Amino acid sequence: MSPENPPSAPPAPRRPSLVTLVAISAAGAFSMNIFLPSLPGMAEDFGVDYALMQLSVSAFLGVSAVVQLFCGPISDRYGRRPVVLWSLAIFLLATLGTLVAPTAGWFLFFRMVQAVITTGFVISRAVVRDMVPAEQAASMIGYVTMAMSLVPMVAPVLGGTLDELFGWRASFMAMAMVGAAVLMLCWFDLHETARGGGIPMRQQVATYPVLARSQRFWGYSLAATLSAGSFYAYLGGAPFVGRHVLHLSPAEVGYWFAAPSIGYALGNFASARFSIRVGMNRMILLGALICALALTVALALDLMGHHEPLVFFGAVACMGLGNGMLLPNANAGMMSVRPELAGTASGLGGAMSVAGGAGLAALSGAFLHEGATAAPLLVIMAGSAGGSVLAILWVLWRERQIMQGR
């Protein structure tokens, strides 16, 4: 080949589209939300107590915490694309299992396997962090989650309607169709973004102590864990509150379930629009304060006898607003500690968040029984939101000490 015609450099890998990043996160949100209005009816169909059937939420979250703990480091080593494709394939097989499960025990087994779909939450954030720096990542994650937040808004409405028309299994058929569509989309568009082919697992393990010793990482992770914990407790207890306290039908519960999603979408928009200008820490603090204040007011009203859908779900909408402002910034913050370990940090932080949420969801189910009001659930949610405020104040206090040279 002549010098006049040098070989051209290989083209850089094409970045995945925003639609693909939204889709892999939305598939997990869809699988967590669509069947929630059916939970009381599913318990009756299988002939078990609501507390047992509620494990399809709390135990699902517990398994997904373990999945997220490992999928981040695995994606740092072997790449984002294979982790997502294998997760979607396993999810489809597990969904078929839920449709043919003869007993509640078998159903719960396949439901736990379905938790592999939550790898999308970790990988989508890691892909964003692969592509852009920390402050811009908070903004981009805000746009991704803002689009994704439409799913929890629509999914319960769809699930409640499908339940009334065809029974609860129709929601799991819808999960299978969504999973297959996302798998096809990722096969063609989810290009690899992990730098340099991934970081060896031995090198990742060697750097874990650095991540574990970072107060910034733990502060951001705890803020996200405790704020998201309010939402996960809500997922575990709201179907019971809707059916037995507020006396709503499955379809009506689905409609009201749109409330936190509307708030979350608005919070994501605020995060995407103002995070760079305001700063991550201030956005986290503001979001945590909104969550804590709204839930405390709702608890006070409930104790005064105001057992109304607008009071309960209105407070949850404000909680969604606060979470929409807090979570993109907290996730970007924890991944900024060691950018080369974005997947590991995202996975560890996600695992903490979901594990805490699983515990709070199970706790909310344990305290909700015939004759109960929404107060036990609101106590758990308000307490968790208050802890999130303390976590980010801890980060701000420590950063001030560092700036003062202490």
Least confident of 103-117, 182-196, 278-292, 366-380: 366-380
pLDDT of residue 182: 92
> Mean of the per-residue pLDDT values for the chain?
80
**Mean predicted confidence (pLDDT) in 20-28:** 85
The number of CA neighbours under 13 Å toward the Cβ of 259 is 20
Q: DSSP for 175-235?
A: HHHHHHHHHHHHHHH----SGGG---HHHHHHHHHHHHT-HHHHHHHHHHHHHHHHHHHHH
Q: In the prediction, which pLDDT does 176 show?
A: 94
- pLDDT for position 344: 66
- Structure letter (DSSP) for residue 1: -
Q: How confident is the model at residue 9 (pLDDT cuts 50, 70, 90)?
A: very low
Q: What is the pLDDT of residue 230?
A: 87
Q: Which tokens go with 399?
A: 């950063």
What is the C-alpha radius of gyration for the chain, rounded to an integer number of angstroms? 21
Residue 66 has pLDDT above 90, yes or no: no
Q: How confident is the model at residue 304 (pLDDT cuts 50, 70, 90)?
A: confident
**Range with lowest mean pLDDT among 246-250, 252-256, 370-374, 394-398:** 370-374
Tell the burial category of 304 from Cβ atoms under 10 Å away from its Cβ (0-12, 13-18, 19+): exposed
| Dist CA 216 CA 333 (whole Å) | 8
Of 14-28, 192-206, 211-225, 232-246, give the lowest mean pLDDT range: 192-206
Tell me the average pLDDT across 77-85: 84
- Model confidence at 150: pLDDT above 80: no
What DSSP character marks residue 196? G
Indicate the fold that domain 18-403 takes in CATH: Growth Hormone; Chain: A; (1.20.1250)
Residue 1 has pLDDT above 50, yes or no: no
User: Cα-flanking dihedrals φ and ψ of residue 32, to 5°?
Assistant: -85, -25
What is d(CA 146, CA 387) in angstroms, rounded to the nearest whole number? 25
- pLDDT for residue 208: 65
Q: 0.75 cut: is pTM over it?
A: no
The pLDDT assigned to 132 comes to 62
Higher pLDDT, 202 or 254: 254
d(C-alpha 231, C-alpha 27), whole Å? 18
- With 0-12 / 13-18 / 19 or more C-beta atoms within 10 angstroms meaning exposed / middle / buried, residue 208 is middle
Question: How would residue 156 be classed by pLDDT, with cut points 50, 70 and 90?
Answer: confident
Region 102-107: mean pLDDT is 91
pLDDT confidence of 288, banded at 50, 70, 90?
Answer: very high
Given a cut of 90, whether residue 291 has pLDDT beyond it is yes
- Could you tell me what percentage of the chain is helix, strand and coil, using 3-state DSSP and rounding each to the nearest 5? 85, 0, 15
pLDDT at 10: 44
> Which residues have a Cβ under 8 Å from the Cβ of 359 and sit 6 or more positions away?
58, 62, 229
Decide if 359 contacts 225 (C-beta within 8 A).
no
CB within 8 A of 390, min separation 6: which ones?
Answer: none
Maximal CA-CA distance, the chain? 86
pLDDT at 296 over 90: yes
pLDDT score at 8: 47
CB-facing half-sphere around the CA of 293: CA atoms within 13 A: 9
Average pLDDT over residues 201-214: 67
The residue whose two tokens read 């396997």 is: 113
Least confident of 103-107, 114-118, 123-127, 132-136: 132-136
